[in-house]
Amino acid sequence: MVAKLILEPAGPGCWDEPLHITVQGLAPRQRVTLRASLRDEKGTLFQAHARYRADAEGELDLARAPALGGSFAGLEPMGLIWAMKPDKPLGRLVKRDVQKPFVVELEVLDGHEPDAGRLLARALHERHFLPPGVRRVPVRAGPVRATLFLPPGEGPFPGIIDLFGSGGGLCEYRASLLAGHGFAVLALAYFRFEDLPEYLSDMRLEYFEEAVDFMLQHPKVKGPNVGLLGFSKGGDLCLSMASFLKGITATVLINACVANTIAPLHYKDMIIPDLGNELSKQKITESGLLNLVDIWKNPLEEHNHRSLIPLEKAQGPFLFIVGLDDHNWKSEFYAHIASERLQAHGKNKPQIIFYPETGHCIDPPYFPPSTASVHAILGEAVFYGGEPRAHSRAQEDAWQQIQIFFQKYLNGKKSVQHSKI
């Protein structure tokens, strides 16, 4: 018999969709090694491998067969994707051009690594970031620099503004994937892109107000409000937007601070100073990586109060997604501050989902967890935290929870699905 690698879906799939992998035509109980690899847009090779044993009929189904070792062990149907590691140290898999897929090469090798022998089967699988029918529209409206992703169909669609962190630039991959689930999503740049400022200094909330106005005036966006999705520094910017701007009804924060960070924030005649830091408190891990979690001052101390964002002024609900092993922010501490502050002002408790053994960089599903990489601003290797298996599970669950939250508060659709973690 000839071994055959079967993928479902057989054709291209979206990055955030699971891939069902089976191998047929093996000998009964045959030992094989499966290997997955892809090259990112900079040419860095990412690879994972796992050892398996076929069943009595000579079939191997990754949804039923546990890996016996390799890059991961146990029942992990998507392990070959999320467990990929770069051939260069500190590499992080990101998607820069969402119009082109990542091409994953899957191989079945006879025997177990490191003694795996001849190639038994091979397949290529395209994983796309622009779901079928989703339209990508570059936005240059006044000062706003962004990309709008519109789902297929006539609409209008519930609108979301998506902000990334202190790395800057325009990150589109989360917005493009989310648009595939029925949302009109604006991936918004706010520095280090085209004619925007090169550095995070003296941010003005008016810029973000222009982005909200753009969305609310767009014929494909379902008003009268939009939602916000922010990660890291983008999270505290979303908190400020929800607190001071009109037209915002639901806000999701991924590992965010409740104080304004890194640079002062201006709005009209108001200034929110940034929460100071003490770089002398940074730690170095045994691997020589920076651990920044202790450098930030405590926003509850009286001399830091002015940096706290008055989130009790916000009109809509909040969802805080918290990695309990975040080594960049004290995300758990900040989420508790938010909850206590809202309740002290007679507001509803925010929804908070805590993910054990999960680090700072919570991406859409199946991205290899980034536990450390070179920080775009600092230019040094930073430790983000997270245990890969737990972090990967958190990414899957958080992606579902984000969609459920926005469907409920932007689209009026309730769901009984709760976090599995």
Structure tokens at 10: 């057989």
Give, for 404, the enclosing helix (H) or strand (E): helix 388-411
Q: Which of 49, 21, 20, 19 is nearest to 37 (CA)?
A: 49
Report the residue count for the chain.
421
Residue 357 DSSP SS3 = coil
First-to-last alpha carbon distance for the chain, in angstroms, is 42
* Catalytic residue annotation: 232, 326, 360
Q: Say how far apart CA 114 and CA 91 lie, in whole Å.
A: 24
The CA dihedral of 296, 297, 300, 305, to the nearest 10 degrees, is -110
Which DSSP category does 369 fall into? P
CA 232, CA 334: separation in Å to the nearest integer?
12
Cα 28–chain centre separation: 41
Alpha-carbon dihedral angle through residues 95, 101, 105, 106, given to the nearest 10 degrees: 90
Contact 160, 226 (CB under 8 A): yes
- In DSSP terms, 374 is beta-bridged to 381
- Other C-beta atoms lying within 10 Å of the C-beta of residue 350: 19
**CA 275/CA 264 separation, integer angstroms:** 9
Token representation of residue 73: 């062990």
